[in-house]
Chains A and B, each alone.
Chain A
């Protein structure tokens, strides 16, 4: 009996540990987000938060619905696979509300040279020119139709 008495002071310590463990379990049940673990070791609601971001680029199919004439012209030339927003910038707002949101036409002086100014790192088969020499001070769309720029596909203006 006296041996137990001499160890009795360890009981409050053990009790504190048990209490701590219980409090921890209770805290977890209360505070862990409910959707955690729904799909995996992460908060399931995060997926919905991510997928509900607004679109900024509409995607070329959205444009083609209303602009079939441009699509037809593009399909004949070398820019057939250049998507609309690649040059025209993001247009989801315009696709949502075509009447009130009018897109700004791209700035020809900077747009075309970004792809077509010659650079040793560009693939050799890719059409590239020394812009100053080639354009002689004129804007690219003076001679080239942007939607179908090649002269042999009816692109000359």
Chain B
């Protein structure tokens, strides 16, 4: 059976869509991904986070994160009245199984999800002695597990506590912004699993990305702005008590 040009033109998009699904499970690299077309960040909406821990569980399953260590985690804050310099904070097992009631009444209470901020001027890549941790052209900070010496200088240099030492691989380890997913057009595991849309991956180079409108209309902050790390995880409604 020969196909007419018209038939091919109609079939191609369907075939492309189907191909995307086929690629979904196959461990290949992303042939059509151009790094310089993207600049990755994330929007974290404090007003929407319910502390369910789905993101922490999803990340640990997607990335084989060892028990007791966290590429992402959720913190619960309790602020008494005007004492924003003295919040009570907890994060039981990183919030992986949610948060048991803590008996707090009154005050201001909320959840803060945290992960690597993929800083533009990251102090961690600055201190790596061998170039084992680096920035990609699309703004993701990654670790080369086959090159890292395990000196742990980067772990010391990160102001956000998002890095850890992998207990069996003996290299530094942290959130990769699910690079293996976003380079294939998928979203990160944590954003996929979040039931309320508190976490949303953002491509800052894409003019149609909803984050641009969001940043214009909401009060947004990054963590520890005084350290000028160029963090790209933007928090909506971040309270002054958040460390």
Q: Is the CB of A126 within 8 A of B24?
A: no
Complex CA distance for A139 and B105, rounded to whole angstroms = 28
* Total A-B residue contacts, Cβ distance less than 8 Å: 156
Q: Is the CB of A40 within 8 A of B135?
A: yes
- Of residues 7 to 52 in B, which have CB atoms within 8 Å of A's CB atoms? 20-21, 24-30, 33, 35, 47-52
How many whole Å from A25's CB to the nearest CB in chain B? 18
Would you call A89 an interface residue if the criterion is a C-beta within 8 Å of the partner chain's C-beta atoms? Answer: yes
Of B115-123, B149-157, B184-192, B215-223, the one with at least 4 CB within 8 A of chain A: B184-192
Q: Is the CB of A83 within 8 A of B131?
A: no
Would you call B132 an interface residue if the criterion is a C-beta within 8 Å of the partner chain's C-beta atoms? Answer: yes
Residues of A within 8 A of B63 (CB): 53
Q: Is the CB of A95 within 8 A of B27?
A: no
How many whole Å from A71's CB to the nearest CB in chain B? 15
Chain A, interface SS category: loop
Complex CA distance for A62 and B145, rounded to whole angstroms = 30
Q: A39-B136, A57-B58 are in contact. Are A51 and B146 (CB under 8 A)?
A: no
Q: Is the CB of B197 within 8 A of A42?
A: no
Would you call B111 an interface residue if the criterion is a C-beta within 8 Å of the partner chain's C-beta atoms? Answer: yes
Residues of B within 8 A of A142 (CB): none
Q: Is the CB of A119 within 8 A of B192?
A: no
Complex CA distance for A55 and B30, rounded to whole angstroms = 12
Instruction: Show 10 A/B contacts (Cβ-Cβ < 8 Å), sorted by A.
Output: A36-B131, A40-B136, A54-B27, A62-B24, A85-B58, A85-B193, A92-B24, A93-B25, A114-B98, A122-B51
B residues contacting A by CB (< 8 A) are: 20-21, 24-30, 33, 35, 47-54, 58, 61-63, 76-78, 97-99, 101, 104-105, 109-111, 131-137, 142, 144-147, 176, 179-181, 183-184, 186-187, 189, 192-197
